[in-house]
Amino acid sequence: MTTTAADLIGLFPPGSRPDTDGTLMVGGCRLDAIAEEFGTPAIVVNEDALRRRARDYLAAFRGRWPRSDVAFASKSFPCTAVQRVMAEEGLHLDVAGGGEILTALKAGADPARLVLHGNAKTDEELEIAVGHGVGLVVIDNFDDIDRLERIVGAGRRQACLVRVIPGVEAATHASQATGHAASKFGLSPEDARAAIARIEAGSRLRLDGVHTHVGSQLLNVDQLAAAVEPIARLGTFEVYDLGGGLGARYTYDEHPPGLDEYADAMTTQARALLPSGSRIIVEPGRSMVAASACTLYRVTTVKRGVVTHVAVDGGMGDNLEVSLTGQRFEATIVNRVGGGEPVSVVGRHCESGDQLVDGVALRDPVVGDLLAVPVTGAYCYTMSNQYNGARRVPVVFTCDGDARLVVRRDTWDDLLVRDVD
């Protein structure tokens, strides 16, 4: 399809625009100035866009179901600064494991507003959760019950939800589907009933309700809403956690449902199937943060041949989404937005699979150019790594023309700091 500079800019964080000389700006900051100050690669986040998305999510659900809460799925961008924004905007935090509990607490989140997930929680993680007063622990298996009953002290009760496999086959990458019958997450409805009965018969745990999740990067709200019926069949509870999974728009060809369409679908099902006075929770991650960020790179090599390879100074060390899930991204030269001939943008790592974007149009790329990839706010920071001795990249918040570092780049010493010999 034919695309314009406006089409491409539309994939960048809301409010992005070219400066008078055509150089792309995010959050009122020129991307070339950010590269000059903070280096490349770097993840650039429009803080205002992040905050507005959080407010929009709360308004969309509370306007349709007053007793609803939005719990940001921290795993999508577990940066303390991002968790702090979500907590400040009134969201709960979905945390997966001890590390995300601790970063959430550092971010100033109220532990009572944390929801702990995990299919293989350790004693240590549950001790951290109970010790800090985490509000809800999601029971994923009977071993969770065993551990919690041992860890929770006499005279105390830990509130929990039982995770139920909804039996929904999601149209997404296999690694992102969590609601099918063979999923490693949650309990079958039959086992969930047994877990519920056991919790209700005990004295250390308090059953607040049930939880379900279909998958990630879903572009069909009907599949998301289909998970409500299986948990409704389990009985009447105070809380029904409907999970997350709404997809984000990565490319020109993708058109995920909007927030209002998603909220309508979920609350319509809730009104039809759940008790009117119950509390519902949704757990957006990707759809909350993906569009708020882009990643900035420097072109290091242009190799022309059968295919023109444009190599940059990052790659699968800061964006594993392409290699793991085949996710398509777009890209542009920062001061020549849109247009050009198709090239393959590749990374610096010693893997043929280290390809960021294949067949993307770039206008006259040369060594030294700045290249920006939009929609990198979800799971890129999460899965950043030190492959080939790469230094993990910084995160820069922009807002109203000001840029500030919220996560520094690894130093060379950071690559050695854990060595003991």
Catalytic positions, written as ranges: 350
Supply 58's token pair.
């709360």
Total residues found in the chain within this entry: 421
Q: Are the CB atoms for 324 and 293 separated by under 8 Å?
A: no
Q: How far apart (Å, rounded) are the C-alpha atoms in residues 22 and 143?
A: 58
Supply 353's token pair.
């699979």
**CA torsion angle for 167, 171, 176, 178 (degrees, to 10)?**
0
Q: How far apart (Å, rounded) are the C-alpha atoms in residues 302 and 315?
A: 15
Q: How far is CA 30 from the centre of its chain?
A: 25
Sign of CA dihedral 380, 300, 310, 22: positive
- Label each residue of 360-390 as H, E or C: EEECCCCCCCEEEEECCCCCCCCCCCCHHHC
Q: How far apart (Å, rounded) are the C-alpha atoms in residues 14 and 46?
A: 8
Q: Are the CB atoms for 376 and 43 separated by under 8 Å?
A: yes
Q: How far apart (Å, rounded) are the C-alpha atoms in residues 159 and 281?
A: 15
Q: Are the CB atoms for 140 and 165 separated by under 8 Å?
A: no
Q: Are the CB atoms for 393 and 347 separated by under 8 Å?
A: no
Pairing of strands 293-303, 279-282: unpaired
Sheet holding 24-26, edge to edge: 17-18, 24-26, 29-30
Helix ranges restricted to H, 63-122: 80-88, 98-106
How many Å is the Cα radius of gyration of the chain?
Answer: 22
Cβ neighbours around 255 below 10 Å, total: 10
DSSP state of 114: E
Q: In terms of Cα–Cα distance, which of 369, 376, 382 is closest to 12?
A: 376
